[in-house]
Structures are given as C-alpha cells and as structure tokens.
Amino acid sequence: MTITYLKRGKSEADRAEDDAKVRETVEATLRDIADRGDAAVRDLSQKFDGYARPSFLLTASEIEAAMSRVSTRDMEDIRFAQTQIRRFAEAQRASMTDIEVETLPGVFLGHRNIPVQSVGCYVPGGKFPMVASAHMSVLTAQVAGVPRIVAAAPPVKGEPHPAIVAAMQLGGAHEIYVLGGMQAVGAMALGTETLKPVDMLVGPGNAYVAEAKRQLYGRVGIDLFAGPTETMVIADDTVDAELCATDLLGQAEHGYNSPAVLLTTSRKLAEATLLEVDRLLTILPTAATASVSWRDYGEVIVCDTHDEMLAVANDIASEHVQVMTDRDDWYLENMHSYGALFLGPRTNVANGDKVIGTNHTLPTKKAGRYTGGLWVGKFLKTHSYQRITTDAAAAMIGEYGSRLCLLEGFVGHAEQCNIRVRRYGGRNVGYGTAAE
C-alpha cells in the first residue's frame, strides 16, 4: 500500500493554532452581544461592515425596493433554482411520515414530526454574495413548515444585496435583517432588545460564523458545523488535468482557507493537474483568493488502488467530493463519510452549490463522519408518544415496569407503575414492592 503526497497543505498543528485565534475572538464577541445587545450589534456592524442604521430589520417597502433592482433574467434564474430546491425538499419531506403502531393489545406507540418553531438563517455575503444560501436555508425551512423564519445577510457595498433579499423573500422569510458575521449569528441566537431569539441557527459561513455556531450550540440548535468550503476530486485516468484543476480551483476561490484535495491513482494526472492549476491561476479573476487556498490548503495525493483512495477519502471526510472514475457507483456504495457526492464528469460542485436541487449547506472539518448536510429533516423534531387504552394492558405493562424499576433501585418510579396495577388490575401491591 503506497500513498504519496505530491503536495501538502498546512499541518494540523498550524490549523489548530488558527482555530484557537478564531475561538478567542468569537468568545469575546458573543459575550459583548449578550451584555450590550443592540448597542454591541450596531458597533460590530460598523466595525466589520462599515454599516449601521437605527434598525437592521428591513421594512416591506425596503424589501420591495431591493427586489425591484433585480433584473428580469436574474429573477427568472432565482425562481428556477428555487423550483428545483423546493421539488427535492418536498420529496424529502414526503419521505418523513408520522407513525402509530399497536405493539401489544391496547398499547399504542407513535411519533410525530414537528417543525422547529423559529430558525435563524445566515446567508454569507462578505467576499461573495451567496444568493443560493438563501434558497438552501430559508426555502427548506419553509417547506418543513417552520412558522417563524428569520434571515440575515451582511450589507454589500453599503446596502442590502438586492438578489439576496429577493431570494430570502421568495423563499419565505418572515424577517429579513441586513446584518453579517458573528454579530448576526449572535443576535439571532442570544436575542437583543429588538430581535427575539430563535430556537435554531442554520447556514454556512466563514471560520468566525462556524465557530460562533459551535459556541452557541446548546443554547440553540444548529444544523451542523458548516465552515470554510472544502472540496475533494477523486479521479483516475478517465479524465484530464484541465477538468480536475478547474474543479479544484472552483471551490478554492471561496476563501483563503478552503481545502482542495486531488486524490488519484494516476501520477501522470496528478503532475499534470499541478501544472494546470498554475496555468489557470494566471487567468482566473479570483486567483488572489484561490491561490492562497491552494498554497496553504491544497493537497495532491497519489494512491496505488481505488481501495486506498476510498480509505483516504473516508478519513478526510471532505464537504464536497467530486468522483470522476471508471467506477463512480462503487464509490457511491462504499463511501460513508462526506458532505455530498458529485458523480461523474457531467456534474460538478457548482451545480450543487447553486441550482440542481440538493442542499449546499454541508458538514466540514470531518463532521461528515457523524452527520449529513442541511435538509428539510433538520428543521423537524421527531417526538414520540404512547397511549394505553385498556385496563388489562395498563396492569400488564405496569407489572413489568414495577419490577424493572426496582431492579435499578428506583422506588418512586416503581410506584408510578404499581398504582396502575392496583387501579386497573385490581391487585394489592405493597408500597415500594415489586408487582408479581
């Protein structure tokens, strides 16, 4: 078994040091918002975005004005994308059914899928206005039936971004705030004098937004840790270097710390891709960003076999995994840790990011080992219930419950069962003793 790194990114120690700096900044920021509320939010917005106003909540007339600035073509494209995303989300919602089953005569067990009552949807917009993130969070929450959907995005060039506002409004947002970064996430979760806190936070963001969500988890629910974009290309000699390099840089341009990994069984392809990345960086308009990500976080790994590539891919657990091999379905069947798969050369990560219909808010930093991405089910809580409808069932289950509670030493628990055995079974069970 031979695994060769032709290029490595930053070490785990260096990445951990970066994470520690982010963590300290976020802790101080959230503490400030908790202590000073709206005043802190306003100061932070002025500091990071150069933007402050009496209220960050957009009025109906401001929403209408922003939407009027979106071109007809752009509006048509937004509606098309939302149609695809809604179609898939509705199919996912239909797969989740309430159930009730009679497990014993007179004993009924069931569960109901109940929407979270309020969510805060963060839409990034600092370096790039992430219009699609509004579809992925706001619209999906609307399909799930969430009754209060709060959406926030930073100002772009000193004002609300028209297309983001349009996507939020069309997706079903009830409140739209022009607020970015840690201050938006903190305000939605902690609440301020003018913003009622939400029950759950969703949406991608930079390292600071992801860390804020991590620190706020428990006080509110979160979808997942969706930090800086990650991409992996798994390829063999069925594809060429131009395709691989294009797909790597297409995600590396997100930010300065976006890992991009090529995993291949072809050393020839690996070496050609390294050269092609260098060539594309001379013509890519976003090269100033993409080149830093590639320099610090890009990796090229050559394996001897597909089994080795599978093992490495599952260990890295990348957010996006583009598979272009002679056995794409084999990877679909055998990969278990990732955000989303993009199978074959005809599709690509950008399709998933913007329009094809699957959700683009996906797990990063190896979180794909234990969770999938944002989907309609994340906005639903599955709550169980039980019902006993006959005296005989109440007495029979109570007898078992009584003995099992006392097995663990819980006398008060046992008496909850015993009183039912006495009342519905007509049995004289001594206080604190096991029903026989």
Q: Which residues are annotated as a binding site for NAD(+)?
A: 122, 183, 206
214-240 in b/e burial notation, b at 16+ Cβ within 10 A?
A: ebbeeebbbbbbbbbbbbbbbbbeebe
**Which helix (DSSP H) or strand (DSSP E) does residue 341 occupy?**
strand 340-343
320 is catalytic: yes
User: What letter does residue 379 receive in the DSSP assignment?
Assistant: G
The annotated binding site for substrate is made up of 229, 251, 254, 320, 353, 408, 413
| E-state strands within 106-192 | 107-115, 118-122, 148-153, 175-178
Rg (CA), the chain: 26
Q: Which residues pair with 264 in a beta bridge?
A: 235, 302
Question: Residue 196, exposed/middle/buried by CB under 10 A (0-12, 13-18, 19+)?
Answer: exposed
Residue pair 292/127 in contact (Cβ under 8 Å)? The answer is: no
User: What letter does residue 152 receive in the DSSP assignment?
Assistant: E
Residue pair 342/322 in contact (Cβ under 8 Å)? The answer is: yes
The annotated binding site is made up of 122, 183, 206, 229, 251, 254, 320, 353, 408, 413
Alpha-carbon gap, residue 67 to 59, rounded angstroms: 12
Alpha-carbon gap, residue 94 to 28, rounded angstroms: 43
193 is catalytic: no
Q: Which of 319, 360, 399, 415 is catalytic?
A: 319
Q: Which of 135, 161, 320, 360 is catalytic?
A: 320
3-state secondary structure 276-307: HHHHHCCCCCCHHHHHHHHHHHEEEEEECCHH
Among left, alpha and beta (phi > 0; psi -120 to 50; other), residue 426 is left
Tokens representing 415 are 């008496």
335 Cβ neighbours under 8 A, 6+ residues apart: 310, 313, 314, 321, 341
- Strand, helix or coil for residue 104: strand
Binning the chain into helix, strand and coil, the percentages to the nearest 5 are: 50, 20, 35
**Which helix (DSSP H) or strand (DSSP E) does residue 415 occupy?**
helix 411-425
Active site residues: 319-320
